[in-house]
Structures are given as C-alpha cells and as structure tokens.
Amino acid sequence: MIIVLKPGVAQESVDEILGLIASKDLKPLHMPGAERVVLGALGDERVLAELSLEGHPDVESVKPILQPYKLVSREIHPHDTVVKIGNVAVGGKEFCVVAGPCAVETPEQVRASADAVKAGGAHAIRAGAYKPRSSPYSFQGHGPDGLRLLAEVGREMGLPIVTEVMDVADVELVAEEADCLQIGARNMQNFGLLKAVGRTRRPILLKRGMAAKVEDLLLAAEYILAEGNEQVILCERGIRTFETATRNTLDLNAIPYIKQKTHLPVMVDPSHGTGVRDLVIPMALAAAACGADGILVEVHENPAKAWSDGAQSLYPEQFEQLMTRLKPVVKAVGRTLGPASAA
C-alpha cells in the first residue's frame, strides 16, 4: 500500500503511522518528498486494511501497489534512480559505456584491453574472474587472483571495475575489490545470491535471465532492494528464441517498458545480445536510441585469441568506431556521451 499524507503533517504523526504499520508485521517505508510525505507498507494487504488508515486525520489517500514488485516500482518511487559505479553515474543524463574483455586471461591481456577501452573513451572496465561456463571443461576463470589483477589495473587506469560474482561465498571478496558486482543471466533467480549482494553496499548490475520475463527481472531486483541495497542497474542481454542466426534475441522492447515500470537504470549488452561481432555496433546505437542508460560491451585486444566469447568481442579499432558513431545518436536523444573523467 502507498499511504499519501496530507501536506505539513508533523513528524510525530509520521512516526505513529509507521509504528502502526510495523505493529501489524508489515514492512514500513518512509519516502519524504518536497511537498508531502509518502509512506509505504509491504505485506499482506488484508492485514493493513484492518488499520483503516483511510480514516486517519493526517492521511490523504491510501492506494494499492498494483505491481507484484514494490520497491523497484515507479508507483512508489517516481523519480529516476542514479547509481554510481565509482565516480561514474548511471541513470542520469550521461550515457555510460562499460567495456572490456569477457575474461581476465593474463596480465598483458588485461592491461592491453584496458588501454584500448580507456583510449576509446569507456567509463568503466568489465572482465570476468569467475566465469559461468556451460561445460565443466571450459576455462572457469582465475578466481581471486584474476579479481585482484583486474582491480589493480582498474586503479592504475582510473577505471572503475564491473565483475561477476557467482557464489555467495565470494560476495565479500568481490565487494571489496570491485566497484560494481555483476549477477549473470544464469544466476538471475539464484535467490540466495541476490540476498547476499543485497546486503552489500556496492552497486549491482543484474542481468536478465535467458528465459526471464521482464516482470521476473524486476522481481529479482526486488530481492536486492528488499535487503536494503537500492543501487541496482538492470541489464538486457538477449533472450532465447527460435532464431539461430544470432546467439540470442536482443529484446530492446524491454528498455522503454522497463523505464516505464521502474526508477532503476537499465543498460544493454549488445555483445551477448547478438553473439556476432558485426551486429554489436548497430545494436549499441539502437540501445541508445530507445532510451537505455548505457551499454556493456565486450572488447578484447585480440579477439581471435580470446579464451572465450571471441566471436562477439570488438577489436580495439571497432570499439573506437563504436564510440564515434554512438556520440551523435546519444546526442540525438538528448543525452551526452562525455569523456570518462566527466562521466
């Protein structure tokens, strides 16, 4: 329920109502605004009805929350949330570009790739130290050593780092080293992991699962917010369909739909969303045009030698071309694509 208070209600009255909500074992929310205070109550709405808050002298109106998700909904939080990855703002006027190789392979490869994305104008670097792989015989990532290497390179370059965490046991370490924790598509409904990252105070990049409806994605984000972490960025990365020309079907419909339903920022991953290098640039432009807050793109110093995802990784010169072509499109939709430092 959303409880809109009358203008100018005293703090003690606010506290009283929050207390009433809590007394019924509902979760109270306090959302003070410029003109008036809005309260929320999460839980069994029949229980709340017993309080008859509509009749309370300081309450203007009581409205149900129509969506199954609550904290992520624009209904109770109408303004855009801006998430900070290091010093990079995601969800504001600036369009955000996070780029880097699929995996941390070697110190040379990480440095060369970081050089390339920095030179191209990326705002942050991505690379995986923990790799979810369909086969147990594929390269599984370097783990903690890879993580520390990535963090070190990020610091040297002044690039915030985004990296995946796959296991609850690793959350603490990754939260220490990384500026933003990625939850991969396969773990979108790994609820224990969602709760664990919800208890950190790091931004979370939450990727949509391959068979997840947008509503499922928003509910997965709700798990994180419900633990107290409101720094969540959603990410569309392609869904599974019958089409085999591309690795996945990038569902850009989801971008304007998500922006309507939630205040959280949303990014697009055109690399996994297509699986085909030549399609990455046009789909990055499309993502910017339909309102995404940024992109996550795979760039490798030498994709032909990449240990994973080579077929969808951009060459450094292609990344430069992407940034050059992205700038006018971003501007055409009223946003900016500045240098990393200004992001």
Site for a copy of itself in 63-122 (CB under 8 A): 68-70
Q: Which is nearer to a copy of itself, 125 or 174 (CB)?
A: 174
Nearer to a copy of itself, 178 or 214 (CB): 214
Site string for a copy of itself, 170-209 (x = CB under 8 A): ----------------xx-xxxx----------------x
Per residue in 37-62, is it b (16+ CB within 10 Å) or e — as a string? bbbbbbeeeeebeebebeebebbeeb
The binder of a copy of itself chosen from 137, 201, 304, 341 (CB under 8 A):
137
Distance CA 210, CA 64 (A): 31
Task: Report the run of H or E that residue 28 belongs to, with start and end.
Answer: strand 27-32
Question: Which one of 154, 273, 294, 303 is in contact with a copy of itself (CB under 8 A)?
Answer: 273
Rounded to the nearest whole angstrom, what is the least distance from the CB of residue 148 to a copy of itself in the complex? 20
**Smallest separation (angstroms) from a copy of itself to the CB of 289:** 4
Q: Tell me the one-letter amino acid at 194.
A: L
The contact mask relative to a copy of itself for 302-321 (x = CB under 8 A, - = no) is --------------------
State the burial class of residue 227 (Cβ atoms within 10 Å of its Cβ: 0-12, 13-18, 19+).
middle
Reference 286, options 320, 249, 245, 330; nearest CA is 330
Nearer to a copy of itself (CB atom), residue 46 or residue 242: 242
Sign of CA dihedral 44, 46, 47, 48: positive
Q: Using the minimum distance from each CB to a copy of itself, give the nearer residue, 179 or 222.
A: 222
Residue of 5, 103, 214, 267 that binds a copy of itself (CB under 8 A): 214
Question: Least CB distance from residue 238 to a copy of itself, whole Å?
Answer: 8
β-strand pairing of 2-5 with 37-42: antiparallel
Which member of 168, 302, 310, 311 binds a copy of itself (CB under 8 A)?
168
Spatial separation of the C-alpha atoms in residues 23 and 225, rounded to whole Å: 22
Which span sits near a copy of itself by CB under 8 A: 56-64, 80-88, 100-108, 132-140? 132-140
Closest to a copy of itself by CB, 157 vs 289, is: 289
Three-class SS state of 11: helix
From the list 119, 88, 154, the residue with the least C-alpha distance to 293 is: 88
- Residues in 29-58 at the binding interface with a copy of itself, rule: CB under 8 A: 42-43
Please pick, from the candidates 35, 50, 134, 201, the single residue that binds a copy of itself as defined by CB under 8 A: 134
Q: Does 325 bind a copy of itself (CB under 8 A)?
A: yes
Size of the site for a copy of itself (CB under 8 A): 71
Contact 263, 74 (CB under 8 A): yes
C-alpha angle with apex 301: 298 to 304, nearest 5 degrees?
Answer: 85
Of residues 228 through 257, those in contact with a copy of itself by CB under 8 A are: 239-246, 249-257
Provide the CA 311 distance to its chain's centre, in angstroms.
25
